[in-house]
Chain A
């Protein structure tokens, strides 16, 4: 079934249709998987040839995690806690080092595939285990469900969860990039539906499409945005109808909202974005690593954590430069020795561009 969404001839037809509209468009998507599809299948170049420039915005949860949050996990690791983390996070540099470095220095850092993996590990050992809970609305419901279902006493959560729509609002408000359209992330949208993005069309005049991840999904998403632009329309459309319903997944939203509440947090490359963070509600205080290990983490209070020198991840995450415009790209910064998180994470824009640039 999925292979039909890769049909080459249809892809070429869609691109010709876009070319016929004869527009110059700057679009943004906010998802590592969209970036992968765009680069892996060479769509970015094909679209550039017909006047469509697509940037990856803040759509990589690993990349937008701040140096301070990484320092929190490092400090807990060095204090003897077992850190449970998604593999993509391991090599991301904090201000002092990274979790993979801490691991080679003897700290107990373990890679998990999901929260339930972490809970299983915690059940099998006595030490305090801290799950670094990273992710957007796609991932946060799983952390919430695990906590609701009960976790062992030695299992704690360091929340780094974030919400996508407030970050898009920040981009619209900052006005650093003129956006002719937004390609909204399909999997985040399976959870939240289309309503939470509506204000971007209504108040900021940005056309939007929720698109899936196969090449034809993305091309069709771009074509739908181009058509809106041509007709002077500005609305939310769903291309990925096989997985996204307008109302999202109300069951998952309810579980998420019963465990987490919205807070104001900083994103890498951004200032504090109001209402963009997800912290555990008071009832889950005994699971909140920031509260339970406050005496350890207090050491980080008031300290500044600068971004790596010369790294343009902030600009990449705000969509104002593309990865290969960074002077360090492919020279001082490669996946083997990354300078910034966008080169580490398999969803980071720089990593994806480097990987397929090399292969292709």
Chain B
């Protein structure tokens, strides 16, 4: 996680929203808790967001993440694909 401290530009990292105070939330990057501005997204505690340069830019769809892997399997098993 130290990466985010070095000012990488495009880098965006998933984090879990743990507490919300107005436009700012405490978000957990796998153990490291920091503040992120959430004014650009609609989110709630317990959801995952993608954080870039101190701002949450999108919510992450956990169900979709699991389904993508199943979808990969299907594509790979389809011999006509």
Contact = CB atoms under 8 A, between A and B. Distances in A.
Interface string A216-259: 10001001000100000000000101111000010110010000
Interface residues of B, number: 37
Contact of B58 (A5, A190, A223, A239): A190
Contacts of B64: 241-242
A255 B40 contact: yes
A298 interface: no
Nearest to A13: B76
Contacts of A115: 53-54
Contacts of B6: 87-88, 346
Contact of B8 (A17, A145, A346): A346
A117 interface: yes
A111 interface: yes
B50 A14 contact: no
B26 to A, nearest CB: 15
A212 to B, nearest CB: 8
Interface string B5-27: 11111111010000000010000
B58 A141 contact: no
Nearest to A135: B9
Contact of A141 (B14, B40, B60, B66): B40
Interface of B: 4-12, 14, 23, 37, 39-42, 50, 52-55, 57-58, 60-62, 64-69, 72-73, 75-76, 81
16 contacts: A14-B76, A88-B8, A111-B7, A115-B53, A117-B54, A142-B55, A142-B57, A145-B55, A191-B57, A220-B75, A223-B75, A227-B81, A243-B61, A251-B40, A252-B40, A252-B41
Interface of A: 1-2, 4-5, 10, 13-14, 17, 31-33, 59-62, 86-88, 111-117, 134-136, 138-139, 141-142, 145, 149, 185, 187, 190-191, 216, 220, 223, 227, 239, 241-244, 249, 251-252, 255, 345-347
4 closest pairs, A vs B, by CB?
Answer: A87-B7, A114-B54, A114-B53, A190-B58
